[in-house]
Structures are given as C-alpha cells and as structure tokens.
Chains A and B, each alone.
Chain A
Amino acid sequence: MSDVRTINKINRAHRFLTDHLVTGLAVLSTVLVIIPLVAILVYLLYKGTTSLNLAFFTHVPAPVGESGGGMANSIVGSSVVLGLASLMGIPVGISAGVYLAEYGAGTHLGNLVRFTADVLNGVPSIVMGIAAYSLIVMQQKHFSAFAGGVALAIMMVPTVTRTTEEMLATVPHAIREAALGLGVPRWRTIFSVSLRTASPGIITGCMLAFARVAGETAPLLFTAFGNQFWSLNLNEPIAALPLQIYVYAISPYDEWHRLAWAGALVLIVMIMISVTLVRIFADRGILKGNS
C-alpha cells in the first residue's frame, strides 16, 4: 500500500511538471506566432498612416515628376476584381465541396477532384496568372479585369472546396436522417439542412480564401495588368492595390514608397473590414437564408 502511495506521489509531481511545461510551451509558441504579425501591423500603421490623406482615396496616381496623387482607382479596381473572383470562385468551390462530401465520397472522380484541389492549392500564384493569361488574355488579345477575376477565382476554389467538404463532414448523420425522414428530398436536405448547419465553417473558409487572394500580385500581373486611370470596364485593364503597391515600391521615388506603404495599409484594412462585415451578416443569419 505504501509503495503505491509513494509512486502516486512521484507521479503527481511528474504530472504537475509536465502540465506546466506543456502549457508553457503552448504559450511560448503562441507568442512567437503573434510577434511577427503584430510587428508587421504596427510597422504598417506607423509607415502607412503618415502618408495617408484624403487625396489618397479620391485621386488617381500622379504622373512621374508631379507630386500628390492617390490610389482611388486601385481601391475600386481591387474591389471589382475581388468581387468578380468571389462571385465565380465561391459558388464553384462550394459546389465542388458539396459533390466531394455528399456524392463523390469513395468514387474515382471524387478522389481525382480532391487530389486536384490539393495540388491546385500548392501551385505558385504566378502559374495561376499564366493560366488565366493563356485561357483568356490570349484568346481576347487584351488584358482585362475579367481575366484578373478568373485568375483569383481559380486560386479561391481549392480552399473553398476543401473547407466545404470538411465542414459538411462534421454535420452529424442524425441531422440528415431527420430531414430525409420527414420526406425532404436529398438535394433539399443538402442545401437547407447540411449546408446551413455547416455554414459558419464554410463562411470562414470563404473568408480565408478571399483574404488570401486579396493580397495576390503575381496572378494579376498579366491579367488585370493595372491601370493608371479610372476604369470600371471589365473588358479593359484595371488598377489593383497589390499591383500599384508593387509598381510604387520598386520605384526610385521616396514619395511613391510612402504611397506604397499607405496602399498596403489600406489593403489590409479593406480585407479586415470585408471579413468583419461578412461575419456580422452571417451571425445575423442573413447569409443563412430563411428556410
């Protein structure tokens, strides 16, 4: 009996140590992850806010040699290209995810789609740009906002597809059975019950995909191409924040460098605002639809 007690005592000390050690490690890793994020954000705020003024939001870029100018056309252009990309990429991604989770499980086509999505996820973004270039720009013989939207949409699809599939897999079988047992057809069960139950996770996936492509420059280089002037025509080259930041950042002018910082700050804030807005609407159930 006393032996068991001694062992228990040693074990207790051992468990106490292990518990604190592992907790400590977890906290340390969290801090290590957060430090660079916070550092970037703070530096960006510091560099960006000093160059931000009203003209930045209302003016198009000034010609070389002239001071002032802003990125109004890039802000609008980025919104247009991202809107297009989301309109194309999210429905395709969600549909593919529904197929994988509900119909394609264990089939050859399903495995192929899943494999392709995973590979596509790892393809460098410049390759997506080249793909959209040969698919659309080469055919149309000119750069366009539409081509940029397609390039970003292709990049969104794998993330949206895989999160949709994984989130649908977490919907309990009992919930589907409840709907089927009421005489609800399968397609309706998937749309109004499974997808709706999984919607918080799917929305998070869409937001991740959106935030990721919002900062992409490479796929836009030979698709949206960039534009120093106002344009809302989907068939013409359009300005985009990442492109404008890229052009300004590699320029030799100090003022352009400052504008590039401001652009980067605006881009991050835009992403944060869109993600927050979607979250608010999603929580209010607007995106969940009213059965």
Chain B
Amino acid sequence: MGVGIQVENLNAWYGHTHTLQDINLHIPANHATALIGPSGCGKSTFVRCLNRMHETNPIARATGVVKMGEIDIYKDASPVEIRRRVGMVFQRPNPFPTMSIYDNVASGLKLNGFRNRRVLDEVVERSLKQSALWDEVKNDLRKKSGASLSGGQQQRLCIARALAVDPEVLLMDEPASALDPVSTSKIEDLIFQLKSQYTIVIVTHNMQQAARVAENTGFFLNGRMVEFDSTHKIFTNPSDKRTEDYITGRFG
C-alpha cells in the first residue's frame, strides 16, 4: 500500500543555484499527484528530493523535512533504504542494456542479494502484468535484452522494474515525454490502475495528461510552488494569476 508524503520547508541547491525554495506540501497516499510548470522550474529537482536521488550529484544539497508516513527520509534512513521504498521512473527509458528482460525486472532484488528463484519468477510475472507488458514479452523473458524492446515497451519495462521491489511511492519524471501517443496512453492507463496501490507523483509538461491521471496538481514556477490543489480546481478555477496564465498558455 502507498503512504502519504509530508514536505516541510524543502530547499534545494545545485552549487550556488537555489533550485527549490521553501516547498510545503502534502501528497496524499494512494492518489496520483501531478506536478506541472515550465522547464527549469524545479519539478524534477523536487521529485529527486523525495527519493534522495538529488544528492547523488556531488554539487547538490537539500534542507528541510520530507516525511514518508512517520519516517523523516533525511534523518531516519539511509538513501539506499529510501530508494527501495520510493521507486522512480525516468524521462528516458533506461533499461540495463546487458540484462535480459527477466533480469531487468528482477535487478532491484537480485542486485540487493535476493536469489530465491521461485519468488523471483513470481515477482517478475506480477510486475510485468502490473505494467501491462507481460503478454508482449512472456515468451522472450530470458532470450531478449531489455534494450531490444521498443521505446514504449522499454518504459513499461522500467515501470515493472520499479514495481518489482514493491515500493510504497512511485515517482515518475515525465515518463511519457519521449514516447509516441499510443505508448503514452498505455502509460496513462497504467498510472490510473496503479494509483490504488501506490502513491504516485508524476512530473509532466502535458497538461491534458495531468488532468487525465491526477487527483491533485501542483504548479511550480522559478523554484517555488505557486499553487497546489485538486486537479479540477487548478484547471478550471485557479486561485493564482500565474497558474491561470500558465494553464491558458499565456507563457511557459
């Protein structure tokens, strides 16, 4: 089951650039939350702070409190533990090129030393079914490399790989921006199904996409969160002028 995330006074820097300023926000459990805003506004940095990927960049740092349930992810746990509980899907599909489809899905468990073959088989099948890829690859699990799939299939493989470690939260950083419309709609259907079991945070440039999949939407601008509300409210009756300008296409 998913878990809610409480963000308090989150600030983040890349070198001397203050990329995120005083972000406060509650992401409810088992819902999809969309983050929108122009390029460079800090949405990606924000999601990378939620699984402590931000700090893998040597010049990056972050302050503030991010609570996942009762756990303060910056105080109570190591980055490795947090990343096992908070899965991430990146903008460009990034399957491991040297691994078969099966090994890609099982990689999160295998690389952490988990070897029980029977359980791995089950997890791979379950995850590929969850990501709606099972029927397309079930006969080539060990024969084909993850990199031999099409772009859309690769992205669903990456989703299966993230789900296989049984996370509570799934972060998606523009998961469909490199995909064609058919693959995009498949990913969106998937998000729709997955949000009953996981807390999903999706960064997107596509406002229709946000409207289609997310209950709540946050609007970021210049490193600040301008507005956070139900998706319906944001797109029909935003309280901030800047949000209205952005969603009506007056800038960005």
Q: Which residues of A contact B (CB under 8 A)?
A: 172, 174-175, 177-185, 188-189, 192-193, 196-197, 199, 288, 291
Contacts and interface: CB of A to CB of B under 8 A. Distances in A.
A181 B53 CA distance: 7
A181 B87 CA distance: 7
Contacts of B95: 178
Contacts of B162: 181-182
Given A174-B92, A193-B96, A182 B87 contact: yes
Interface string B54-98: 001000000000000000000000001111110110101011111
Nearest to A184: B111
Contacts of A185: 80
14 contacts: A174-B90, A175-B96, A177-B53, A177-B90, A178-B161, A182-B84, A182-B108, A183-B81, A184-B112, A185-B80, A197-B97, A291-B103, A291-B107, A291-B110
A107 B106 CA distance: 36
A183 B83 contact: yes
A177 B56 contact: yes
A180 B94 contact: no
B149 interface: no
Contacts of B127: none
Interface of B: 51, 53, 56, 80-85, 87-88, 90, 92, 94-99, 103, 107-108, 110-112, 158, 161-162, 165
Contact of B165 (A172, A182, A192, A197): A182
A236 to B, nearest CB: 43
Contacts of A193: 96, 111
B107 A180 contact: no
B56 A178 contact: no
A26 B97 CA distance: 33
Nearest to A175: B94
A172 B111 CA distance: 19
A109 B94 CA distance: 32
Given A175-B97, A193-B96, 18 more contacts: A174-B90, A174-B94, A177-B94, A178-B94, A179-B96, A179-B107, A181-B83, A182-B108, A182-B161, A183-B81, A183-B85, A183-B112, A184-B107, A184-B108, A185-B80, A188-B111, A196-B98, A197-B96
Contacts of A188: 111-112
A185 B111 CA distance: 9
A291 B108 contact: no
A175 B147 CA distance: 12
A177 B96 CA distance: 11
B56 A291 contact: no
Given A177-B53, A177-B56, A288-B98, A182 B92 contact: no
A110 B158 CA distance: 34
Nearest to A105: B58
A183 B84 contact: yes
Contacts of B53: 177, 180-181
Given A192-B111, A291-B103, A181 B88 contact: yes
A172 B161 CA distance: 18
A103 to B, nearest CB: 11
B195 to A, nearest CB: 20
The 8 closest A-B pairs by CB, nearest first: A183-B84, A182-B108, A183-B83, A174-B94, A181-B88, A178-B94, A184-B111, A196-B98
Nearest to B92: A174
B149 to A, nearest CB: 15
B96 A181 contact: no
Contacts of B112: 183-184, 188
B100 to A, nearest CB: 10
A196 B103 CA distance: 13
Contacts of A196: 98
B111 A178 contact: no
A37 B51 CA distance: 56
Contacts of A291: 99, 103, 107, 110-111
A183 B94 contact: no
A189 B53 CA distance: 14
B101 to A, nearest CB: 13
B83 A182 contact: yes
Contact of A179 (B51, B81, B111): B111
B37 to A, nearest CB: 22
Nearest to B167: A183
B98 A178 contact: no
Nearest to B93: A174
